[in-house]
């Protein structure tokens, strides 16, 4: 079986994307708290929901990146 090598740079990039997704989800929570006049403690008490939203963001991003990668590869093959 072929080993798959994931470079340190790649791991770091994914971690940064993850962190970005968590930040974005936190931003959504802040927006929701302001919009619906609920309590700031929800930033902590609904952390599980925030993380779930972050996971959804990450999955959507992964899908988009997959699509972009696929399209670019197809173009490159055509050009070659």
Contacts to other proteins by CB under 8 A: 28-29, 31-38, 42, 45-46, 49-50, 53
Give the nearest distance from C-beta 14 to other proteins in angstroms.
Answer: 25
Give the nearest distance from C-beta 44 to other proteins in angstroms.
Answer: 11
Task: CB nearer to other proteins: give 29 or 57.
Answer: 29
**Cα angle: 24, vertex 7, 62; to 5 degrees:** 35
Give the nearest distance from C-beta 71 to other proteins in angstroms.
Answer: 27
């Amino acid at each position: 079986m072929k080993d798959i090598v994931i470079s340190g740079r790649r791991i770091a990039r994914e971690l940064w994307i993850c962190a970005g997704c968590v930040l974005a989800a936190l931003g959504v929570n802040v927006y929701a708290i302001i919009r619906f006049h609920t309590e700031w403690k929800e930033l902590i008490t609904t952390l599980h929901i925030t993380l779930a939203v972050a996971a959804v963001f990450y999955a959507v991003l992964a899908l988009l990146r997959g699509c972009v990668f696929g399209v670019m590869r197809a173009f490159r093959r055509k050009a070659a």
